[in-house]
Structure 1
Amino acid sequence: MNLFGEALAWITDPAQWTGNYALPKLLGEHLSLTAISVLIAAVIALPLGWLIGHTGRGREVAVAVSGAARAIPSFGLMVLLVLLLGVLRTPQAAIITFVLLAIPSLLAGAYTGLEAIDRRTIDAAKAMGMTGWQVFWKVEVPLGLPLLVGGLRSAILQVIATVTIAAYVNLGGLGWPIIQGIPLRRFDQVLAGAIIVAALALIVDLLLAAAQHAAMPRGLRTPGPSRRRRVAKVTATAPASAPA
């Protein structure tokens, strides 16, 4: 049996679905760490990103800070925080690491979503008598939502991939089969863990892609193939205009 087949056999083995390190339990830990980290990052990044996009100020600083945060190696940062905070605060160290990883994508999605809006749309809303808050909540946020969801999509996928290192500091998650299998030279187990994480990322990406499409205002959506065919058919069968 090849390594891929052995990995699938490891995943489907009933022994991996019970006990303290059962796959459903590890999946729950993985998703919990991801959700908590992205939620905290959103609380920090969204107000700041919306403020930058709405006022047009501070973009250069935000880009610089985001670039610096992306350049920090996550594993090294987590180990450093564990050493600084102490082993009793390992969960906090891991959460801080994942939050810092998620902030740049959320921040960029928030301010680029507002910056991409045509200024004439904003001027038209103001001309209708809308206040600044009304323009923000009823015009800017809805129109900027697709790019924001895109930033959220990127942040969640990055965190899902990186949460695997949480097992290194005994926090569980789907990285546990990988971390445990490497010193034991159980490469089927290592590959199985990688397959599960990749499958989780693909499923989440598909769901968020659908959410990003749904977040786009109906009038801005590109017509699908069936709609384009219907339009072309109607155009082809329409009677020609009478000559002038």
Structure 2
Amino acid sequence: MNTLSQAWSWLTDPAHWSGEGGIAQRLTEHLLLTVVCLVLSCLIALPVALVLGHLGRGGALAVNISNIGRAVPTFAVLVLLLLSPIGGYGEWPTIIALVLFAVPPLLTNAYVGMRGVDRDVVRAARGMGMTGRQLLRGVEVPLALPLILTGVRIAAVQLVATATIAALAGGGGLGRIITAGFNLASTPQVVAGAVLVAVLALLVEGVCVLAERLVPAGVRGTAG
């Protein structure tokens, strides 16, 4: 029996899905960690990107600074946080590392989307007497929404794939299945864990693409 067949047998074994440390529990932990990190990343990145995109000042600098984070491996950031005085094993070092990892695509796409809004439309809205807040909420954000959602999709998929590092900090998630497989020298379990992460990432990608398609056609067409 080859490794893929053994991995499939491991995945389809009901004993591996239930109980403490089972696939169901690890999947729930992985999804919860992903959602928490995505929400925190959006709360940090999107307001900054929307305001800077609306003002048209300072956005390029903010995007460049945030993109520096892409050059630093998330694993390295996690190790530094674990070794820092405020670190320690648990969820917070992992959450901080993942949030820093997810901010750049959110910030970049939202800012580019805001600056890509047709300036003639913006000037027309100003000519109608719309305030800055009304312009932001009623014109710029709706027209920039497709690119904003693209940033959310990219960040979500990256978080699903990278959240496996939580296992290295004593956290939960699907990464625990992979690390347990290494500890047991069980290649089928390692492969099964990797397959679970890949399938989950594809499912998240599909859900996000569906959400993007639910954006009203008029908004997508105007923004494009």
Shared topology, TM-score over 0.5?
yes
Deviation of residue 219 (structure 1)? Answer: 5.8
| Maintained 8 Å contact 2:63/2:107 | no
The amino acid across from 1:49 in the alignment is: A
| Maintained 8 Å contact 2:29/2:173 | yes
1:97 alignment partner in structure 2: 97
| Maintained 8 Å contact 2:143/2:220 | no
Q: Does 1:32 align with 2:32?
A: yes
Deviation of residue 2 (structure 1)? Answer: 1.8
1:180-233 deviation digits (Å, cap 9, x = unpaired):
1123221100010010000000011011011112225426449xxxxxxxxxxx
| Shift >3 Å, 4+ stretches | 219-222
What is the distance in 1 between the residues matched to 2:37 and 2:220? 32
Deviation of residue 129 (structure 1)? Answer: 2.1
1:204 alignment partner in structure 2: 204
1:3-47 deviation digits (Å, cap 9, x = unpaired):
111111101111101221111110110011111111111111111
Task: Between the two structures, name the one with larger relative contact order (CA 8 Å, sep ≥ 6).
Answer: 2
| Maintained 8 Å contact 2:143/2:219 | no
1:178 alignment partner in structure 2: 178
> Kindly tell me: are residues 115 and 199 of structure 1, through their superposed partners in 2, closer, same or farther at Cα, counting changes over 3 Å?
same
2:166 alignment partner in structure 1: 166
1:69 alignment partner in structure 2: 69
The aligned length equals 221
2:88 alignment partner in structure 1: 87
What is the distance in 2 between the residues matched to 1:219 and 1:29? 35
Q: CA RMSD in A?
A: 1.5
> Kindly tell me: are residues 212 and 177 of structure 1, through their superposed partners in 2, closer, same or farther at Cα, counting changes over 3 Å?
same
What is the distance in 2 between the residues matched to 1:3 and 1:66? 41
1:141 alignment partner in structure 2: 141
Structure 1: stretches of 5+ with no match in the other structure: 223-244
Provide TM-score, normalisation by structure 2: 0.94
| Maintained 8 Å contact 1:146/1:216 | no
SS of the residue 1:215 aligns to: coil
What is the distance in 2 between the residues matched to 1:71 and 1:59? 19
What is the distance in 1 between the residues matched to 2:219 and 2:74? 41
SS of the residue 2:214 aligns to: helix
Structure with greater Cα Rg: 1
2:121 alignment partner in structure 1: 121
SS of the residue 1:191 aligns to: helix
1:231 alignment partner in structure 2: none
2:57 alignment partner in structure 1: 57
The amino acid across from 2:160 in the alignment is: I
